[in-house]
Amino acid sequence: MWNSFLINVKTSIRNSSSLFWVLAFPVILASLILGIMSDQDDGYTVTPQPFAVVADANWKANPSSDQLVTALAKAPKSGSNGTQLLKPTTVASKAEADRRMDNKQDIGYLYAGSDGLVTMVLSDRDAAAIQADGTTSEAIAVSILSSSLGRFNQTSSVAAAVARQDPSQLASPGFQALVRSGGQTYTRQIQLTHIHPSMTAPYYFAVLGMACLLGASTAASMIARTQPNLSDLGARRACSPSSRGRQMVGAFLAAWLFSAVSLLVAYIFIRTVCGVQTGGRDPVALLAIAVGTFMSSAFGIMMGAIPKISTETKVGLTVGINCTLSTFTGLYGSPMMELNYAIQEHAPILHLLNPVKQVSNLFYDIVYYDSLAPFARTCGVLAIMTAVFLAVAALLLRKQRYEYL
């Protein structure tokens, strides 16, 4: 058995086709997704925007204006829900701020009017870009900034009105409580997922599902090479002292090892280069790789055990089934991802029977659930699939008889 295992491992390593499709292709596919969809998360994040601050006489007349800019430009502490909106640059006049906008150094500037109210000015190009697409990081930052300035100006107007009627009220506890309530929130932010979800992560999980089933083609090829009617090597192996069962187990373990190492390479690339986070659950992800590739190797053994068809046909069928099932995991773009969600909502049984989707779900369960119970259920589904595939493979291999070698 171990001799068969070593021979199959060496054969896989020397097979350039297996190395490309099982080892290299998932990394290439993940790279393409990174290049195409790397900016998709930008619409759900806020990055500080460069603004000039016109520090003229009107600005200096209201010290609260500087406090506002300082608060908006302060970087949030780690683990807090704060957001930095500004990267301010102080200038002396509006003319200098206009020059900086024309030179594309800033996207706009802030200035104070004679009434003490702070106004935001945007460059024409950035205003047009925000109007065309309001989901960009720049658009979200400007929207939040506009809301903050509106709240600040409202508070300043109320304070000015009170000061004109009764300045002593400005220091009263009631007025101070009223001012503070303007920035008070009555909602509490909660997080339903294990970590902050990435909009592109489902595509990478679909890549991992497809990459896992690609390893089944290696198992199918290894089993086909043990069949006497399909290759001269199989005929020689049939005449060897080693039993067919030992040869099958050796081929299965070799295919599992090769598939697991290949999927691990793809996972490391997606974690490090593509930046998909698991919230500290990498050890659980290693278990997911082992479970998923065990199932895919069993599927490959079953496909390789189909009688009366050539090795190339068996491998082609395995790859074709994999590519077809990958369609329903959302691998081929946003429309297919919408189809994936529709199936999950209206016909979940189809996903339950899809081994590619179940492997993809292993990584969903790791990232999106705070409990590992869904991960355990998916492992149970894959274990049932593995048992079915191995049982069918054993039945097919047991019934094969040869008149001559």
pLDDT tens-digit map of 35-46: 887 666 555 567
- pLDDT at residue 9 in the model: 86
Q: Beta partners for 6?
A: none
Is it the case that residue 66 has pLDDT exceeding 60? yes
Give the separation between CA 383 and CA 291, rounded to whole angstroms.
8
Residue 321 · residue 356 · CB < 8 Å: no
CB count, 10 Å around CB of 63? 9
- pLDDT at residue 165 in the model: 67
Q: Which two three-digit tokens encode residue 401?
A: 């008889």
- pLDDT at residue 186 in the model: 46
What confidence tier does 362 reach under pLDDT thresholds 50, 70, 90?
very high
- pLDDT at residue 23 in the model: 92
To the question of pTM greater than 0.75 for the whole model, the response is no
- pLDDT at residue 172 in the model: 64
Terminal C-alpha separation, the chain: 22
- pLDDT at residue 295 in the model: 97
Pairing state between β 49-54 and 86-91:
parallel
Average pLDDT over residues 211-216: 95
Q: How many helices (H) and strands (E) does the chain have?
A: 18, 4
pLDDT tens, 144-162? 888 888 888 887 777 666 6
pLDDT tens, 306-336? 888 888 999 999 999 999 999 999 998 889 9
pLDDT tens, 257-297? 999 999 999 999 999 999 898 888 999 999 999 999 999 99
What confidence tier does 224 reach under pLDDT thresholds 50, 70, 90?
confident
Query: pLDDT above 70 covers what percent of the chain?
Result: 81
